[in-house]
């Protein structure tokens, strides 16, 4: 799922990945106890068009006589391009400069807030998203991002409202339903599942991610979901995008069941896609860091 919102192909290479020691505690995981027959992503290449656009922005910012608000907009646009090719440090520097030049640039606050989440600097993230919504109360994705910040910041009870409000603005979107579920699951698993079942009937059946919701509800198995990833796919890019999303949510599913080895592998697979713009890619590394911290605490407790 992109946070700010293709040709035919003649491949699709399935590869077997065997992971020993994986438990099989639920019907979802028992049909694929060793993560077998996974479809591996071809990492998304760095866009030549994005690189050329960055070079052009560099030239304009260095040579053109610009007003502060114009320069701020260019810094913001270049920052978005840096983010899209995985240059997060340069992106954050550009968002910071954009805000300094234009303190009412809501989009820049939203973008830098995402970086604060990834760095687990949650107080700064809350402030950034609050600023976005103060400037533009209709900026929907700030609700998503503030909800995610609250969720990862250990305040899932507060995250529920933001993520449910975000979902309510488009009840046909399965990703919105999933994030509302993820936050509520951390507080009240039974009611979260009940709300997701109700939400399922309102989702856009044409959106492939409805299958992820069906998996979470136990209506299809893990292999069914993985096998369905290629249905309707018309390009390698589209497949890679789907894999990024599917592997992240599979990681979240197994992590909730404390299948940490499986969860870790799925988050790594999501990262391997290089789909830097997607929410799922952004937070897969954060999930891995949290898993490592939990493993360290477990060792210390022994």
| Among 225, 208, 211, CA closest to 266 | 225
- Residue 2: per-residue pLDDT: 65
> So what's the pLDDT on residue 210?
97
**For each of the chain's 302 residues, which pLDDT tens digit applies?**
766 433 333 333 333 333 333 333 344 444 444 455 677 777 877 788 999 999 999 999 999 999 999 999 999 999 999 999 999 999 999 999 999 999 999 999 999 999 999 999 999 999 999 999 999 999 999 999 999 999 999 999 999 999 999 999 999 999 999 999 999 999 999 999 999 999 999 999 999 999 999 999 999 999 999 999 999 999 999 999 999 999 999 999 999 999 999 999 999 999 999 999 999 999 999 999 999 998 888 788 87
Same domain for 81 and 122: yes
Nearest to 149 by CA among 117, 184, 110: 117
Q: How far apart are the first and last CA of the chain?
A: 39
Structure token pair of residue 65? 């006589």
Q: Which residues pair with 2 in a beta bridge?
A: 278
Best CA proximity match to 210, nearest among 159, 175, 166: 175
In degrees rounded to 5, what are phi and psi of residue 23?
-85, 160
Q: What angle do CA 76, 82, 88 make, to 5 degrees?
A: 100
Quote the CA–CA distance of 164 and 284 in Å, as a whole number.
Answer: 22
Q: Give the CATH number for residue 76.
A: 1.25.40.10
Sole residue written with tokens 């994030």: 179
> Are 196 and 141 within one domain?
no
Residue 294's closest CA among 271, 261, 268?
A: 261
Q: Looking at residue 3, what is its pLDDT? A: 62
Residue ending a domain, choose from 129, 154, 179: 154
Rg, C-alpha atoms of the chain: 20
CA–CA dist 65, 255 (Å, integer): 52
Planar angle of CA 85, 275, 114, nearest 5 degrees: 75
How many Å apart are CA 288 and CA 17, to the nearest integer?
Answer: 19
- My answer on whether 174 and 150 are in the same domain is no
E-assigned strand segments in the chain? 14-15, 38-39
Q: Are both 187 and 254 inside the same structural domain?
A: no
In a 10 Å sphere around its CB, with 0-12 CB exposed, 13-18 middle and 19+ buried, how is residue 172 labelled? Answer: middle
Q: Which domain range does residue 248 map to?
A: 229-302
Question: Do residues 201 and 233 both lie within one domain?
Answer: no
Q: Are residues 169 and 115 in the same domain?
A: no
- The pLDDT value recorded for residue 32 is 45
- Please check whether residue 204 is in contact with residue 184, taking contact to mean a CB–CB distance below 8 angstroms: no
Q: What is the pLDDT of residue 16?
A: 30
- The verdict on 95 and 126 lying in the same domain is yes
- Which residue is it, tokens 């907009």? 73
Cα–Cα separations (whole angstroms), residue 106 to 103, 137, 139, 146, 288: 8, 10, 8, 14, 30
> For 180-192, what is each residue's pLDDT tens digit?
999 999 999 999 9
Residue 118 lies in a domain: yes
**Tokens in use for 203?**
């989702």
129, 109 contact by CB (below 8 A): yes
Does one domain contain both 105 and 125? yes
Best CA proximity match to 74, nearest among 59, 84, 89, 85: 59
Same domain, 110 and 150: yes
């Amino acid at each position: 799922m992109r946070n700010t919102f293709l040709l035919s192909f003649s491949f699709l290479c399935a590869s077997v990945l065997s992971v020993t020691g994986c438990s099989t505690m639920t019907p979802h995981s028992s049909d694929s106890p060793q993560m077998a027959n996974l479809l591996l992503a071809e990492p998304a290449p760095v866009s030549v068009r994005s690189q050329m656009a960055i070079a052009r922005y560099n030239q304009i910012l260095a040579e053109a006589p610009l007003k502060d608000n114009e320069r701020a907009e260019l810094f913001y646009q270049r920052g978005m391009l840096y983010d899209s090719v995985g240059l997060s440090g340069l992106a954050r520097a550009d968002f910071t400069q954009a805000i300094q030049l234009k303190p009412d640039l809501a989009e820049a606050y939203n973008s830098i807030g995402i970086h604060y989440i990834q760095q687990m600097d949650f107080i700064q993230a809350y402030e950034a998203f609050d600023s976005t919504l103060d400037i533009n109360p209709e900026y929907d994705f700030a609700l998503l991002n503030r909800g995610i910040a609250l969720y990862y910041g250990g305040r899932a009870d507060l995250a529920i409202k933001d993520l449910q409000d975000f979902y309510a603005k488009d009840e046909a979107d399965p990703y919105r339903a999933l994030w509302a579920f993820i936050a509520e699951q951390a507080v009240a698993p039974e009611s979260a599942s009940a709300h997701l079942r109700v939400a399922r009937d309102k989702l856009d059946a044409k959106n492939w991610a409805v299958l992820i919701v069906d998996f979470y509800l136990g209506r299809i198995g893990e292999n069914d979901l993985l096998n369905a990833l290629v249905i309707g796919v018309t390009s390698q890019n589209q497949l890679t995008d789907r894999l990024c999303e599917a592997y992240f949510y599979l990681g979240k599913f197994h992590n909730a069941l404390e299948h940490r080895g499986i969860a870790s592998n799925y988050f790594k697979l999501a990262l391997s896609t290089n789909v830097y713009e997607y929410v799922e890619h952004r937070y897969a590394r954060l999930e891995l860091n949290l898993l490592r911290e939990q493993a360290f605490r477990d060792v210390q407790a022994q």
